Chains A and B, each alone.
Chain A
Amino acid sequence: MALKINGLGIMPEDTRICVVMVGLPARGKSYIAQRAQRYLKWLSVPAATFNVGNYRRTNAPHPPANFFDTNNAEGERQRRAAADAAITDMLKWFKSGGVVGILDATNSTKERRKWVLERITSEGIEVIFVESRCDDEELVMANIRDVKTSSPDYVGQDPEQATLDFRERIRNYEKVYKSINEDKDEDHLTYLKIMNVGKQVFINRIQDYLQSRVVYFLMNLHIRPRSVWLSRHGESMFNLDGRIGGDAKLSHRGEEYARKLPELVRESVGSDRPLTVWTSTLKRTIATARHLPKHYNQLQWKALDELDAGVCDGLTYQEIADQYPEDFAARDEDKYNYRYRGGESYRDVVIRLEPIIMELERSEDILIISHQAVIRCIYAYFMQKTQEDSPWVPVPLHTLMKLTPRAYGTELQTYKANIKAVSTWRGKGSTAKHEDPSPEGGI
């Protein structure tokens, strides 16, 4: 066991968990795995996903459906070898300090689960099985069309043909599929079974806090397709002056953006389907949302308020550098962890945003109008930005972002309002009021 020990033999508690996915193909397993990993990493828990399909693909890049027939001995052997390779790599990763590993595969038989359980627990790692069950044929087909035809297995193939082939592949799995504890002889396992996209959930034998936390997150997930829209408030009077924080009103151009926003949103949504709008409790976001159609439901969250700059609230970067030179330097050195005097750090903001992320995960069609630091944290969650990078991401004013989570990553589309605004981005060490973001890494 790789344990962190300090000079005096002090050993912090270590729990290591392997989340083993279970379920037929096209039940959103990869999606769930990827979301769980992203959430844990966002909360600073080392997490990684090991996709057995990727290991199998190195030997069989574009397998036909009958490769997955259990009577196909060669196919069976190759799939077993892929699972073995994935687990070996995962165990190696645990030894190097991993905390939550996710094994993404179908694991659809009792024998396979037993084998996986034994291999992993023998290394002192806890196992929790997570099964996604779905009997709604329509939802499954939608998932196949949406995800699987873009899967690496079907690159360059006719989508219609791919869908049919994939349906055939699933039938081969269905022949041997056993839901966890279906025969009542797997009651000793720790598992979470999510049925019909979270309509029913069964939780069995949770052993510790981290497991309960993972289960809690997964209960909040749904696998229906949806998007999240993000926008900063319109340009404010403080933005014009290059001042941070405060509760200023919108500038003329900011007002213009507020009036343009409904059109921009409709263009992005593609229909009159209403969104739910979340703003902060500050004037500038509420004002930005006020021209949106009446049938859009609007809610204000304190948790969406801008990062609290404490004593620096209302100052320009130049003033901060003059009045608090040490702080100014300390912040650039570790922007994620730096906490303003009497204020907050990015880490603090992430912690207070956790309920928002939970609520986002279980909702559909949300438009968030908030502030630079807060949008950065939410953006980092969806786009898997590291803690070093996320506080520096340029989030321009007067731009609407549409984030669409997919099984293999989040898709980003931006819609510019084409209304001029100052830049509020600031490079490391700079005290410029309005600086153009460096071309690379921008949204």
Chain B
Amino acid sequence: MDTLLTAEIAVNAPRYRRKSSTFIDGIHDVPEEQGNLAPAQLYSTMSGRLFHSGRIAIVMVGLPARGKTHICVSMARYLSWLGVKTRIFHLGDYRRATVEGGHVPQDYFFPNASPSSVMLRQKILKKCRDDVYAWLNHENGQVAIYDAVNPTANGRLVLAKEFAKHDVQTLFIESYVDDQEILKENARNVKISSPDFYGMDPDEAAKHYLKRIETKIPVFETMNEAELNYVKMINAGRAFYYNNVSFNYLSHRIVFYLTNLHIKSRTTFFVRAGPATDEDSYKADAPLSEEGKVYAEKMTETLLRHREQERQTANEQGGTDIPLRPLTVWTSTRLRTVQTSEPLKEAGYRVRQRSQMSQINPGVCEKLSERAIRSMYPEEVEKHELDPYHHRYPRAESYHDLAVRLEPIILELEREQNDLLIIAHESVLRVLYSYLMHCSTMDIPKLKFPRDEIIEIIPAAYQNEAKRVHIPGLDPRTIPGSPEDIRIYVPHDNNANIPPIPGMSSPEPAEVPIASRPPEKIPNMAKDMVSDKVADED
């Protein structure tokens, strides 16, 4: 039975992976050790449950194509970032694991479904809920996100009662959309690649798809249950209605996050700042060197060319002329990042400076070589090796401090609707990258961002995807490492099981001649993983 179950999960739910590389979004991973996935946890409790909130079930409500999955995944990302143990339970996964291909009977969602369909529905629901309870009770979970349509008021009341019986508080989150434009856009974005609609005009496909939802799920009651805790997100965050019976800090925090979330698709690019004249000093805040200026030009050129290429590819696939999304640039207030953005500013792009994005404070390690640090602070180095993420050198910031400081940036990152280029110090890129790609805290201090690469993060409802774009023609001396970084020893990974991280696992410049390396893309496994999700209808 056990092996059968494992096989079933492996076949039907490839997303429950044990381990993934840092180049794959880890939001659906099931980590083996606990406690490594909480970049900005403010404090810890014995139970591992935060904010003195008990166990919470967040129950999604909404028809397909309302951005539910996107909301779930984003929320899980943010809560995990805060240190709250969160897991998503997609009912669709259970449907697919029970019925081959997820092809349920025609009347599956009907109020007057046949007895066999009702039985099937109950079987699937039970299995999903059993997993929810098992996780909350035995794996110390705190927030279970239950992703399903939950179309009727009665069904929701029963659900809340059942969770309460298990001592779990329920918070419903409905995504309600009556703006036809948003509906069409969602349908287009999420479902366009489904084989059913191949070759169809996107608008036409969207219309068909929405029609199909209506036939399939004929009854949907929007939330109006005065006795339940619920948040109604109206038209993708334009407005919120919030019915509060017994909320606590964590629920408010979720609403705070949701007020910053939008469901439009946009890309985030990460690049390093160019090299400065005084690389070693943190306090000096030096301007760009000559090579730095060359870097800024080449980076800008590569980025703009890449965006244009992407647009052409999209047009070839989609058949219509899609305009480029506007691009906004964020830098820190450190001079070198601001100057790296100069060519873009001259080209007319909007550049914003954010003080929170300044690099990690090296404290006493400023201007010291690794050897000097080792001889002067042997005990600190020892502590650092044990926990490079949380350890703080005298007067310095730890990565944890940096993550807590960057929280407002995370929320603004979610809020931004334009494509976004972030020019920052490697330490800042590491932390922001880890939010978007859900990396373990053990990996964060080791992430590498060579100067000759633009990292592109493409969001998808189900999981984010990272690519890198090569910047050709740079002086090889300016590429590797982070000369202005704190030269603190970061232990090498002894775990041979972790596959070399594509693109990020120190490809030594000596091994790969930079000039000959073609612009490349990471083999995108994420796409295969979500292929079954694309055609999914809930």
- Are the CB atoms of A13 and B240 closer together than 8 Å? no
**Minimal Cβ-Cβ distance residue in A for B260:** A212
Tell me if A81 is interfacial: C-beta within 8 Å of chain B: no
A contact face: mostly helix, strand, loop, or mixed: mixed
- Chain B positions 343-362 with a Cβ under 8 Å from a chain A Cβ: 352-355
B335 near A8 with CB under 8 A, answer yes
- Considering only residues 248-268 of chain B, those with a C-beta below 8 Å from chain A are 248-249, 252-253, 255-256, 259-260
Chain B residues lying within 8 Å of A362, measured Cβ to Cβ, are 247-249, 252
Q: Does A443 have its Cβ within 8 Å of any Cβ on chain B?
A: no
> How many chain-B residues does the 8 Å CB contact rule pick out?
43
CB proximity to B under 8 Å, residues A338-374: 339, 341-342, 351-352, 355, 358-359, 362
Contacts of A202 in B (CB 8 A): 239-242
The yes or no answer to B138 lying at the interface (CB within 8 A) is: no
Interface pair B244/A201, CB less than 8 Å apart: yes
B241–A201 contact, CB under 8 A?
yes
Q: Which of A277-322 contact B (CB under 8 A)?
A: 299-303, 305, 310-311
When A209-B260, A212-B256 are in contact, do A13 and B239 touch as well, CB less than 8 Å? no
Judge whether A12 and B404 touch: CB under 8 Å. no
Q: Are B395 and A341 in contact (CB under 8 A)?
A: yes
Number of interface residues of A (CB under 8 A): 39
Determine if A208 is an interface residue (Cβ-Cβ < 8 Å).
yes
Which of these binds chain A: B37-45, B109-117, B296-304, B493-501? Answer: B37-45
Nearest A-chain residue to B239, judged by Cβ = A204
Given contacts A12-B333, A310-B394, A203 and B242 within 8 Å (CB-CB): yes
Give which listed residue, A200, A216, A219, A351, contacts B243 with CB less than 8 A: A200
Which residues of A lie under 8 Å from residue B394 when comparing CB positions? 310-311, 341-342
B392 touches A (CB below 8 Å): yes
A209 to B395, CA, bound (A): 30
| Interface flag for A10 (CB, 8 Å) | yes
Set of chain A residues within 8 Å of B238, measured between Cβ atoms: 204-205
Q: Which residues of B (277-294) have their CB < 8 Å from a CB of A?
A: none
Instruction: Judge whether B203 is part of the interface by a CB distance below 8 angstroms.
Output: no
CA A355 to CA B260, docked complex, whole Å: 19
Report the minimal beta-carbon distance from A268 to chain B, rounded to whole angstroms: 24
Are B252's CB and A200's CB within 8 A?
no
Closest to B51 in A: A355
The interface bits of chain A over 171-211 (1 if a CB of B lies within 8 angstroms of the residue's CB, else 0) are 00000000000000000000000000011111111101100
B411: CB under 8 A from chain A?
Answer: yes
Is the CB of B216 closer than 8 A to any CB of chain A? no
- For B39-62 the 0/1 string (1 means CB < 8 A from A) is 000111110000110000000000
A62 interface residue (CB < 8 Å to B):
no
Q: With A201-B242, A342-B392, A359-B52 in contact, do A302 and B45 touch (Cβ < 8 Å)? A: yes
B residues 232-246 near A (Cβ < 8 Å) are: 237-245
B461 contacts the other chain (Cβ, under 8 Å)? no
Q: A12-B353, A212-B260, A219-B255 are in contact. Are A352 and B42 (CB under 8 A)?
A: yes
A residues less than 8 Å from B46 (CB atoms): 300
B521: min CB distance to chain A, Å: 33
A213 and B256: CB pair below 8 A?
yes
> Does A414 lie at the interface of the complex (its beta carbon under 8 Å from any beta carbon of B)?
no
Contact A203 to B404, CB < 8 A, known contacts A209-B412, A220-B249: no
B415 touches A208 (CB 8 A): yes
B312 to chain A, nearest CB (A): 33
Closest Cβ of chain A: how far from B66's Cβ, in Å? 18
Is A11 in contact with chain B by the CB < 8 A criterion? yes
Closest to A199 in B: B244
The reply to whether A10 and B338 contact each other, CB–CB distance below 8 Å, is yes
Query: Is B408 at the interface (CB under 8 A from chain A)?
Result: yes
Residues of chain B lying within 8 A (CB to CB) of residue A341: 364, 394-395
Chain B residues with Cβ under 8 A from A10's Cβ? 333, 335, 338, 353
> How does the 8 Å CB contact mask read for B329-343 relative to A, with 1 for contact and 0 for none?
000010100100000
Q: A13-B354, A201-B241, A342-B394 are in contact. Are A359 and B249 (CB under 8 A)?
A: yes
Q: In whole angstroms, what is the CA distance A305 to B44 when docked?
A: 12
A206–B256 CA distance with the chains assembled, in angstroms: 11
- For B251, give the chain A residue with the smallest CB separation: A219
Among A205, A209, A358, point to the contact of B408 (Cβ < 8 A).
A209
Residues of A within 8 A of B245 (CB): 199
Residue B43 contacts which of A199, A200, A310, A352 (CB distance < 8 angstroms)?
A: A352
Q: Is the CB of A200 within 8 A of B411?
A: no
A75 to chain B, nearest CB (A): 36
- The reply on A215 being an interface residue by CB < 8 A is yes
Contacts of B247 in A (CB 8 A): 362
Question: A8-B335, A219-B252 given as contacts; is B241 within 8 A of A205 (CB)?
Answer: no
Nearest opposing residue in chain A for B353, CB measure: A12
Nearest-CB distance from B103 to chain A (Å)? 40
Evaluate contact between B44 and A302: CB separation under 8 angstroms.
yes
B31-87 at interface with A (beta carbon < 8 Å): 42-46, 51-52
Task: Let me know if B415 and A302 touch, CB within 8 A.
Answer: no
- Least Cβ–Cβ distance between A219 and chain B, in angstroms: 5
CA A198 – CA B255 in complex, angstroms?
A: 14
Please report the C-alpha to C-alpha distance between residue A201 and residue B248 in the assembled complex, in whole angstroms.
14
Q: Within the complex, what minimum Cβ distance (angstroms) separates B255 from chain A?
A: 7
Partner of A11 from the list B241, B259, B260, B353 (CB cut-off 8 Å) is B353
Give the residue name and chain of the A residue nearest to B408 (CB). A209
Report the minimal beta-carbon distance from A372 to chain B, rounded to whole angstroms. Answer: 19
Cα distance A212–B395 in the bound complex, in angstroms: 33
Q: In chain B, what residue has the closest Cβ to A327?
A: B395
Chain A residues whose CB sits within 8 angstroms of the CB of B241 once the complex forms:
200-203
B52, A339: Cβ atoms under 8 Å?
no
> In the complex, what distance in Å separates the CA atom of A339 from the CA atom of B247?
35
Interface residues of B in 371-426 (CB under 8 A from A): 380, 392-395, 404, 408, 411-412, 415
| Beta-carbon nearest neighbor of B50 in chain A | A355
Contact A358 B252 (CB under 8 A): yes
Residue in contact with A219 in the complex, picked from B242, B260, B338, B415, CB distance below 8 Å: B242
| Contact A203–B239 (Cβ < 8 Å) | yes
A200 with B244: in contact, given A12-B353, A205-B238, A359-B51 (CB under 8 Å)?
A: yes
Give Cα distance in the complex from A278 to B157, angstroms. Answer: 34
- In the complex with contacts A201-B244, A202-B242, A216-B353 CB distance below 8 A: no
Give the contacting residue for B249; candidates A201, A311, A355; CB below 8 A. A355
CB pair A212 B411 closer than 8 Å: yes
Question: Which A residues are in CB contact (< 8 Å) with B44?
Answer: 302
How distant is the Cα of A200 from the Cα of B240 in the complex, in angstroms?
Answer: 10
CA gap between A299 and B392 in the complex, in Å? 28
In the bound assembly, the distance between CA atoms of A10 and B393 in angstroms comes to: 31
Residues of B within 8 A of A301 (CB): 43, 52
Residues facing B in A1-43 (CB within 8 A) are 8, 10-13
Q: Give CA–CA (A261, B352) in the complex, Å.
A: 53
Interface centre among B46, B52, B237 (most CB of A within 10 A): B52
Q: Which of A206-261 contact B (CB under 8 A)?
A: 206, 208-209, 212-213, 215-216, 219-220
Q: How far is the CA of A407 from the CA of B245 in the complex (A)?
A: 25
State how many angstroms separate the Cβ of B82 from the closest Cβ of chain A. 9
Q: Across the interface, name the chain A residue whose C-beta is closest to B412.
A: A209
Chain A residues near B415 (CB-CB < 8 A) = 208-209, 212
- A selection of 28 A-B contacts at a CB cut-off of 8 Å is A8-B338, A10-B353, A12-B333, A12-B355, A198-B244, A199-B245, A202-B241, A203-B239, A203-B241, A205-B239, A206-B259, A209-B408, A209-B412, A213-B408, A215-B259, A216-B252, A216-B253, A216-B256, A216-B259, A219-B242, A219-B256, A220-B252, A302-B42, A339-B395, A351-B404, A352-B42, A359-B249, A362-B252
Given A12-B333, A303-B42, A342-B393, output 9 extra A-B contacts at Cβ < 8 Å: A202-B240, A202-B242, A203-B259, A209-B412, A212-B411, A212-B415, A215-B259, A359-B249, A362-B247
A interface residues, Cβ below 8 angstroms from B? 8, 10-13, 198-206, 208-209, 212-213, 215-216, 219-220, 299-303, 305, 310-311, 339, 341-342, 351-352, 355, 358-359, 362
> 8 tightest A-B contacts by CB?
A302-B43, A216-B256, A201-B242, A203-B240, A341-B394, A212-B259, A204-B239, A303-B43
